């Protein structure tokens, strides 16, 4: 059975990651900072947005892939993938602004954590059902 949901969201999230990377590179280039942040607040903010994305997306995508491979419900996979995508975009937007509109940052983290926790619990349930089924 071909997989569609996880690759779809992985592709979209990879494009967001590239955009976040380009934003870091742009500040590095204009400020002539090759390593670290040298106290540049704009660079530090963009680096944290990029890093935070890299910290949450891989594990959540891995859980989505496991759910999809174990035959998880398609509608749940689409909801979790959409929550992760929207959550990461909201978070990136919120943290990128000065001053931060906290509603975007908070909503982004709530959506991200929800996708991560629900995917983890669903993976545990499917794995336990498979382990004890036979």
pLDDT for 40 equals 96
Residue 69 lies in a domain: yes
Task: pLDDT tens for the chain, 134 residues: list them.
Answer: 678 999 999 999 999 999 999 999 999 999 999 999 999 999 999 999 999 999 999 999 999 999 999 999 999 999 999 999 999 999 999 999 989 999 999 999 999 999 999 999 999 999 998 877 76
Residue 85 lies in a domain: yes
Residue 109 lies in a domain: yes
CATH number at residue 26: 1.20.120.550
**Domain encompassing residue 43:** 5-127
Report the sign of the C-alpha dihedral through residues 7, 13, 18, 21, in that order: negative
Residue 133 lies in a domain: no
pLDDT for 52 equals 97
**Count of the separate structural domains present in the chain:** 1
Let me know: does 133 contact 73? Beta carbons within 8 Å: no
- Collapsing DSSP to helix, strand or coil, 33 comes out as coil
- 5-31 vs 41-69: helix crossing angle, rounded to 10: 170
Residue 43 lies in a domain: yes
pTM over 0.85: yes
Residue 120 lies in a domain: yes
Residue 70 lies in a domain: yes
Residue 112 lies in a domain: yes
| Gap between the Cα atoms of 85 and 107, Å rounded | 12
| Gap between the Cα atoms of 36 and 47, Å rounded | 9
pLDDT for 84 equals 98
């Amino acid at each position: 059975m071909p997989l569609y949901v996880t690759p779809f969201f992985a592709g979209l999230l990879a494009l967001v990651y590239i955009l976040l990377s380009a934003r870091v590179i742009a500040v590095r280039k204009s400020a002539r900072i090759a390593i670290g942040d040298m106290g540049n607040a704009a660079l530090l903010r963009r680096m944290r947005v990029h890093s935070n994305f890299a910290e949450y997306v891989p594990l959540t995508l891995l859980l989505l892939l496991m759910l999809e491979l174990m035959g998880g419900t398609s509608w749940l996979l689409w909801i979790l993938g959409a929550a992760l995508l929207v959550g990461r975009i909201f978070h990136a937007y919120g943290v990128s602004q000065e001053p931060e509109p906290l509603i975007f940052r908070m909503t982004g983290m709530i959506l991200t954590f929800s996708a991560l926790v629900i995917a983890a619990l669903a993976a545990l349930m499917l794995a336990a059902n498979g382990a004890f089924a036979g």
